[in-house]
Structure 1
Amino acid sequence: MIVNTPAIVLSTIKYGEADLIARIYTKKLGTQSYMLKGIRKSRKGKLRVSLFQPLTQLEIQTQHKGKGSLEYIKEATTSFTYVNIPVDIAKSCVALFFGEVLSQLLTEQQPDEQLYDYLSTIFEYLDQTDHTANFTLKALLDMSELMGFGIDKSTIGFPYLNMLDGSFDNNGLQPHHLNQEESSLMKAFIGTKIDAIHTIKINRNQRTALLNLVLDYFKIHLHTFKKPNSLDILKQLFDS
């Protein structure tokens, strides 16, 4: 059947001399893999390599077979044009990082309009905002909540975060607990809306340490999760 759907590009890999395989998260079909025949050599086709950069937002038309094999895209157009992500080094690195993260998180993701709309909105925000330093931490924590393994907000009145069960409690200095400073920073990001995260006062070392802890939290709750290859580059670009 022919399906028209909004879509966000997660990643691509080269296949043969001229083809690409694109991993794409779609609003109507969930996560799909598409064979892009001849795209790396063709200059006259409807599909261009530039359309399939990480986090690019598209409107695609696909002949969806739903048999678990590679699908094909008939047409693709940009649904939101990023102005700053392609030319801003820091934002480009953030986009690469989230392309890697989402490629792991959304391997077999079924359609989820709430999650899709959230991702679409925050990446548009990333393109437009002047405040990128805290973006990664906030977006990761929001994603964990939307995907069902987020930190329990109802326990936020307690001082220490237990990484194993994703809740705050009184058991400081116990295994798998963050200290009070780390826990307080987690609370700040959980309790602050994304358009106000620049108000969270955190230095480079704290930000780096907290990002490592958030990624450790992902590894605890998603056993196949691995820290992205782009993490080291991202850390170097964080504002002090």
Structure 2
Amino acid sequence: MLHKTRGIVLSYFRYRETSIIVRIYTEEFGLQSYLVNGVRSAKSKTNRIAFFQPLTLLDMVVYYKPGKDLHRLSEVKVNFPFQHIPFDIAKSSMALFVSEMLTKTLKEEASNQALFYFLMDSVLYLEEAEADYENFHLAFLLKLAFFLGFGPSNAREFEGQLQEQKYPFLPDDAAEKALNHFLRQPLATPVKISRLTRAELLDALVAFYQIHIDGLGEIKSLSVLREVLS
């Protein structure tokens, strides 16, 4: 049966010679995988592979059958064409990192509109922000943790969980203030921290996710993000 839904692209991998399997977090069905045929063919009349770059916002008509692991797209178009994320190295690095974290943490194949709206609003903020977005990935991960069921209530709780797992995280006043700020304020609210503090918080946040998500494994985009933001 055909259904209309919006979606946020998380990642894709190549399938056979000309196709891909793309993972999309949808408004109506949660996390779903779609087979897209011919998208990598030299004979393709449009550059449809661009539709499936990290965090692209889509309007889709999809075939959906409960219980199936792999679905197909009937129609797809970009809901909000990006003008900045693909061309700004800091934003594109953040998008790649966020999409990898989402790919490895989102598992639910059911509608969760509150989570979908949070993700969509976060992507739109990253696309449209002209300044003060250098901490986007930090605030995003802390807020995402609440949707995943392990968000800390304050900086001390975050610190305590890491120390219980023998992770050497001893935040100074600036780091603790920043953590509480990210937890309590809207995503777009700026906070000034040093590059060193930003790097330490990023590593601590990835470790925090590794505590709570079994098999999270290596985050391949992390080294690129570190280098870009250093």
Common fold by TM > 0.5? yes
User: Is 1:163 matched with 2:161?
Assistant: yes
AA aligned to 2:179 is: M
State the alpha-carbon separation in 2 of the partners of residues 78 and 174 from structure 1: 43
Normalised to the residue count of structure 1, the TM-score between the two structures is 0.86
Does the 8 Å contact 2:139/2:183 carry over to 1? yes
Q: C-alpha separation between the residues in 1 aligned to 2:71 and 2:112?
A: 20
Q: Cα distance, 1:26 vs. partner? A: 0.4
TM-superposed deviation, 1:178: 4.2
Tell me the TM-score normalized by structure 2. Answer: 0.89
Paired AA for residue 142 in structure 2: L
Q: How does 1:1-240 map to 2 (within 5 A)?
A: 1-41=1-41, 42-44=43-45, 48-129=48-129, 130-153=131-154, 161-163=159-161, 178-181=169-172, 182-197=175-190, 200-238=191-229
Displacement, 1:201? 2.3
| Alpha carbons of structure 1 residues 82 and 17: separation in structure 2 relative to 1, 3 Å | same
Inter-partner Cα distance in structure 2 for 1:143 and 1:159: 16
**Structure 2 Cα separation of the partners of residues 93 and 59 of structure 1:** 24
Unaligned runs of 5+ in 2: none
| Residues 144 and 150 in structure 1, CA contact (< 8 A), matched pair in contact too | yes
Give, in whole Å, the separation in 1 of the partners of 2:74 and 2:157.
53
Does the CA-based 8 Å contact 2:153-2:183 persist in structure 1?
Answer: no
Q: Which amino acid aligns with 1:100?
A: E
Shift of 1:87: 1.0
Query: Which range moved further: 18-27 or 172-181?
Result: 172-181
Q: Which runs of 4+ in 1 moved over 4 A?
A: 172-178
Aligned pairs, how many? 226
- Any conservation in 1 of the 2:8–2:24 contact (CA below 8 Å)? yes
Give a deviation string over 1:176-207, Cα, whole Å, max 9, x none: 6843524443223212322212xx22111111
Separation in structure 1 between the aligned mates of residue 21 and residue 158 of structure 2, nearest angstrom: 44
Flag structure 1 segments of 5+ consecutive residues without an equivalent.
165-171
